[in-house]
Amino acid sequence: MKTLIIEDTKKLADTLQKFFSMNGNNADISYNLEDAYHYVEITHYDIILLDIMLPDGDGRDFLQKLRKKNNLTPIIVMTAKFEISDKVDILDLGADDYIIKPFEFIELEARCRAVLRRKNNNHQHTLAFGNVNLFPQTATIEINGHAQSLRNRELRLLEIFFNSPNIIFSKNQITDRIFSISDIVSENTIEVYVARIRKKIEKSNVILETMRGIGYKLTTKN
Amino acid sequence: MVINLLQKINFPNLSIKQRLVLQLVIVSILIAFSLFFLIKNITNQVMTTTQDRLLTASLNSIIDKFYTSNKDISLDLPYDTFSLLGAISEDKLFYKINYNDKFLTGYQKFPMVLKYGNLRKPIFYNLIFENEKIRVAAIKHSIYVNGKKNLLFIKIGQTLNFQSSISSQITNNLLLIILIFLVLSIILVLLATRISLQPITLLANDLNKRKPNDLTLVKNNVPIELAPLVLSLNSFVKKFRGVLRTTETFVAEAAHHIRTPLSIVKSESEIAFLKSKTKSNREHLRNIIRSIDETNRYTTQLLDNAMVLYRLEKLEKQNFSITKSLVHLINVFKPAADLKDINFSTTFNFKSKFIVTDKLLFETAIRNLIDNSIKYAPIETNINLDYKFFNNVHEIKIKNQINKKLNTSKSALFKRFYRGQNSKNIIGSGLGLSLVNEIILGLNGQFKILKYKEKEFCISVQFFC
């Protein structure tokens, strides 16, 4: 996923970029609107994170101009003052979603996923491993033509493993990806989700293997 | 005197128009009565003078009919004159003539008088004789018989029937004229008052039509007497608008300036947390993040509170689809609910319904309620948002499960900074419900907690059309 972060607060923009990089995504930063116009003209982005109050103008103007040019790149507005004086609904201006600062990365990630899912509704993206197909847009898995629905955390867990099969993920890594950091999560919780996933994929040639003392990995049955 | 009297009369419950009309009507009545008595008095004087002249003429006629010879006097009474006097309105005529203190002719019982005038200036007076009020003229006249001076005492009286009849006719006519004058003057008073007070009436109507949140300047043309009032009202509105603008900017700036550094701290801490490997470090960072979240929650709620107070002063009502707004809010919260695998279900008895209220405040209230329900609902549960429109009432019910029964009173839940027993490990400020309550009351709605003692929490918000 390629992201453009339009944010004038350098430290915030930089940490956002770090977060996207840690998850294997690319992110460019624009600290003002002038650079942002330049970036969107030369590069295609999967998603744009846009701040409202920028040094050289209002993020809403950028949003309007982009939509007038028929640029339909999903945009999530990050704002600190949304509730106070925004008389024009930013969603009416063409934003796909908004998030109020300060936000959790996990929430931002969830919103990005939701927006991308909505935008790519007609373009079903499939993740496959072994004889299991994972459809993130519809939150379903299909094994030998038999479809099962997934809960959000089950989907997130499977997405992590399907994106990196045969890679070991520790309980901490999994917890960080599917739970809010401020949530109090017991170690058993991950085991509960892993057990559910195992039950859903038991008829496939794929297993979620426990690497004792290390974590879990997705692999095929020998 | 009249002005002083009017000033002393206080009409505490009357409008300026009513006071003015009442005062002008009182003045009109006073003028009408004064005119009535003045005209009546003049008319009476004229009639009395006329009668006196007639009586004087009669006296003259009597004197003219006296004849003297060497020894005697003779009188040829002027009956034609008497009959003329008596003919008018069948008035009775009395006379008495004494010659040197001896009764000569006439009504002997006719009372004596002490004073007599002369032909040029008779004495006139009124007296009651034989139950009739009469006007009398009396003169003393000298005649010479054989060179000797003799005195004639002549009194002639006439009843006042004619005068009374004319007076009563004039009184009736006068009363009619005065009545017409009064009616006309009242109509004129009403018209004049209405025209004079029109600028005030227009100003009052304009101000009455204003809604509490209308902060436009008063642009009515008003008389110079009212100009200072309108001027001070407009300067107050300008000042108030300035204060509100400053508040709005302050709240917005405060939000921006507080949240942006918080975002940096939080995101930096999250990155540090994700990179951290040791359990103790992770715990420390988790605690920092939780504290940031707590701070953020308080900040948000306090800023929301400031925004609500500001906004309730200048409601911006608009007509919008309540159902669309609810769907929009659910969509906004869906990613947050998904993080806890919480499902939203909706039951709307109308697919589309419109409401006239302040959209921002409405959405702030509902957002707080949905946010609360997500926070307190256990994972993998359902939140139901129910919308009904009945008897001109929009009712929104939000139902969610809770981990623990609440053993507290409903009123405690509305208290600021109060947090229920089920709030352990859940980040919050305890301001949400009190804020929602304030908003709903400000929008003339009703906010109720229907269930909270079971493991289910249900609130109801009603807005009236």
CATH of the domain at B295: 1.10.287
Pairing of strands A47-51, A2-6: parallel
Give yes or no: residues B278 and B334 share one domain. Answer: no
Tokens of A216: 């879990």
Residue B430 belongs to some domain of the structure: yes
Q: With residue A100 as reference, give the H or E element that holds it.
A: strand A97-100
B339 closest CB neighbour out of A11, A97, A106:
A106
Check CB contact of A169 with chain B, cutoff 8 Å.
Answer: no
Smallest CA–CA separation between B335 and chain A, in Å?
Answer: 6
Give yes or no: residues B67 and B172 share one domain. Answer: yes
Tokens of B226: 């009212």
- Count how many Cα atoms sit within 13 Å of the Cα of residue B147 in the half-sphere of its side chain: 0
User: Given B184, B209, B234, which residue is the final one in a domain?
Assistant: B209
- At A128 the three-state DSSP class reads strand
Residue B148 belongs to some domain of the structure: yes
* Record: contact A19-B271, CB cut-off 8 A: yes
Identify all chain B residues contacting A53, using CB atoms and an 8 Å cutoff.
256
Average the pLDDT over B28-32 and give the result: 88
B255 closest CB neighbour out of A15, A80, A106:
A80
A82: confidence class by pLDDT, cuts 50, 70, 90: low
Identify all chain B residues contacting A151, using CB atoms and an 8 Å cutoff.
341, 380
CA-closest candidate to residue A44, choices A3, A96, A97: A3
Smallest CA–CA separation between A215 and chain B, in Å?
Answer: 14
* Record: contact B259-A102, CB cut-off 8 A: yes
B336 closest CB neighbour out of A18, A83, A107:
A107
Tokens of A153: 């955390």
Identify all chain B residues contacting A110, using CB atoms and an 8 Å cutoff.
335-336, 338-339
Residue B66 belongs to some domain of the structure: yes
Identify all chain A residues contacting B316, using CB atoms and an 8 Å cutoff.
87
Residue B220 belongs to some domain of the structure: no
pLDDT at B201: 83
Identify all chain A residues contacting B267, using CB atoms and an 8 Å cutoff.
12, 15-16, 19, 102, 105
Q: Compare all CA atoms of chain A with the CA of B359 and give the residue at the minimum distance.
A: A87
Whether residue B151 has pLDDT greater than 90? no
* Record: contact B339-A85, CB cut-off 8 A: no
Whether residue B385 has pLDDT greater than 90? yes
CA-closest candidate to residue B188, choices B357, B3, B358, B25: B25
Smallest CA–CA separation between A167 and chain B, in Å?
Answer: 18
Higher local confidence (pLDDT), A50 or B438: A50
Give yes or no: residues B288 and B429 share one domain. Answer: no
pLDDT digits (tens, 9 = 90+) for B106-124: 888 888 777 888 888 899 9
**What's the full length of chain B, in residues?**
465
A81 closest CB neighbour out of B256, B263, B334:
B256
Give yes or no: residues B72 and B162 share one domain. Answer: yes
Residue B219 belongs to some domain of the structure: no
pLDDT digits (tens, 9 = 90+) for B397-407: 999 988 776 66
* Record: contact A15-B341, CB cut-off 8 A: no
Check CB contact of A91 with chain B, cutoff 8 Å.
Answer: yes
Give yes or no: residues B173 and B239 share one domain. Answer: no
Q: Are B2 and B31 in contact (CB under 8 A)?
A: no
Range of the domain at B30: 1-209
Give the 3-state secondary structure of A155-220: HHHHHHHHHCCCCCECHHHHHHHHCCCCCCCCHHHHHHHHHHHHHHCCCCCEEEEEECCCEEEEEE
* Record: contact B270-A53, CB cut-off 8 A: no
Whether residue B244 has pLDDT greater than 90? no
The number of beta carbons lying within 10 Å of the beta carbon of residue A41 is: 9
Whether residue A124 has pLDDT greater than 70? no
Give yes or no: residues B68 and B171 share one domain. Answer: yes
* Record: contact B271-A15, CB cut-off 8 A: yes
The residues near B379 (Cβ < 8 Å, ≥ 6 apart) are B340, B341, B342
CA distances from B293 to B256, B429, B431 (A): 16, 10, 15
CB-count burial class (<10 Å; 0-12, 13-18, 19+) for A212: exposed
Check CB contact of A214 with chain B, cutoff 8 Å.
Answer: no
Smallest CA–CA separation between A11 and chain B, in Å?
Answer: 6
Check CB contact of A67 with chain B, cutoff 8 Å.
Answer: no
pLDDT digits (tens, 9 = 90+) for A34-64: 999 999 999 899 999 999 888 998 888 999 9
* Record: contact A83-B255, CB cut-off 8 A: yes
Which one of A7, A22, A83 would you mutate to disrupt binding with B, by most B Cβ within 10 Å of its Cβ?
A83
Smallest CA–CA separation between A102 and chain B, in Å?
Answer: 4
Give yes or no: residues B45 and B155 share one domain. Answer: yes
Tokens of A102: 């300060």
Average the pLDDT over B57-66 and give the result: 86
CATH code, domain carrying B460:
3.30.565.10
Tokens of B67: 């004849």
Give yes or no: residues B302 and B326 share one domain. Answer: no
Whether residue B37 has pLDDT greater than 80? yes
Could you tell me what percent of chain B has a pLDDT over 70? 90
User: Given B249, B279, B313, which residue is the final one in a domain?
Assistant: B313
Tokens of B449: 């907690």
User: How are strands ordered across the β-sheet holding B123-129?
Assistant: B102-106, B93-99, B148-159, B132-145, B123-129
Helices (H), B385-431: 410-413
A31: confidence class by pLDDT, cuts 50, 70, 90: very high
d(CA B147, CA A87): 126
pLDDT digits (tens, 9 = 90+) for B338-369: 888 898 999 988 878 898 988 888 998 998 89
For CA atoms B266, B267, B272, B274, the dihedral sign is: positive
Higher local confidence (pLDDT), A213 or A31: A31
A84 closest CB neighbour out of B251, B260, B271:
B251
Give yes or no: residues B47 and B195 share one domain. Answer: yes
Give yes or no: residues B399 and B443 share one domain. Answer: yes
CA-closest candidate to residue A204, choices A162, A151, A156: A162
pLDDT at A84: 44
Average the pLDDT over B196-217 and give the result: 79
What one-letter code names the amino acid at B448? K
A12 closest CB neighbour out of B267, B274, B316:
B267
A142: confidence class by pLDDT, cuts 50, 70, 90: very high
Tokens of A136: 């993130």
Helices (H), B65-160: 79-87
Check CB contact of A107 with chain B, cutoff 8 Å.
Answer: yes
Higher local confidence (pLDDT), A10 or B248: A10
Smallest CA–CA separation between A118 and chain B, in Å?
Answer: 11
User: Given B294, B313, B332, which residue is the final one in a domain?
Assistant: B313
d(CA B100, CA B69): 17
Smallest CA–CA separation between B205 and chain A, in Å?
Answer: 30
Looking at the DSSP assignment, which residues form a beta bridge with residue A98? A77
The residues near B381 (Cβ < 8 Å, ≥ 6 apart) are B342, B343, B400, B401
Whether residue A85 has pLDDT greater than 60? no
CA-closest candidate to residue B413, choices B449, B364, B441, B383: B449
Residue B215 belongs to some domain of the structure: no
CA distances from A178 to A113, A182, B399 (A): 13, 12, 26
d(CA A113, CA A76): 11
CA-closest candidate to residue B300, choices B328, B266, B325, B268: B266
d(CA B400, CA B300): 23
The number of beta carbons lying within 10 Å of the beta carbon of residue A52 is: 23
Q: Are A169 and A216 in contact (CB under 8 A)?
A: yes
* Record: contact A182-B427, CB cut-off 8 A: yes
B416: confidence class by pLDDT, cuts 50, 70, 90: low
Check CB contact of A20 with chain B, cutoff 8 Å.
Answer: no
Q: Are B374 and B385 in contact (CB under 8 A)?
A: no
pLDDT at A48: 95
Could you tell me what percent of chain B has a pLDDT over 90? 11
Q: Compare all CA atoms of chain A with the CA of B294 and give the residue at the minimum distance.
A: A182
Average the pLDDT over A75-85 and give the result: 71
The residues near A87 (Cβ < 8 Å, ≥ 6 apart) are B316
Tracing tokens 């919308």 back to the chain, one arrives at: B387
Whether residue A88 has pLDDT greater than 60? no
pTM: 0.59
Higher local confidence (pLDDT), A140 or B260: A140
Q: Which domains does chain A have, with CATH numbers?
A: 2-119 (3.40.50.2300), 127-220 (1.10.10.10)
Looking at the DSSP assignment, which residues form a beta bridge with residue A215? A211
Check CB contact of A102 with chain B, cutoff 8 Å.
Answer: yes
Higher local confidence (pLDDT), A63 or B89: A63
d(CA B443, CA B51): 85
B307 closest CB neighbour out of A83, A113, A180:
A83
* Record: contact A84-B307, CB cut-off 8 A: yes
Whether residue A121 has pLDDT greater than 80? no
Check CB contact of A76 with chain B, cutoff 8 Å.
Answer: no
Identify all chain A residues contacting B364, using CB atoms and an 8 Å cutoff.
83
Domain count, chain B: 3
Give yes or no: residues B74 and B197 share one domain. Answer: yes
Residue B221 belongs to some domain of the structure: no
Residue B439 belongs to some domain of the structure: yes
Identify all chain A residues contacting B332, using CB atoms and an 8 Å cutoff.
97-98
Give yes or no: residues B283 and B345 share one domain. Answer: no
Smallest CA–CA separation between A222 and chain B, in Å?
Answer: 32
CA-closest candidate to residue B363, choices B271, B443, B264: B443
* Record: contact A85-B252, CB cut-off 8 A: yes
* Record: contact B263-A102, CB cut-off 8 A: yes
User: A83-92, A132-141, A185-194, B142-151 — which is least confidently predicted?
Assistant: A83-92
Cis peptide before B378 (omega within 30 of 0): no
CA distances from A171 to A23, A57, A179, A209, A210 (A): 16, 44, 11, 13, 11
pLDDT at B99: 85
Whether residue B33 has pLDDT greater than 50? yes
CA-closest candidate to residue B361, choices B263, B442, B278, B460: B442
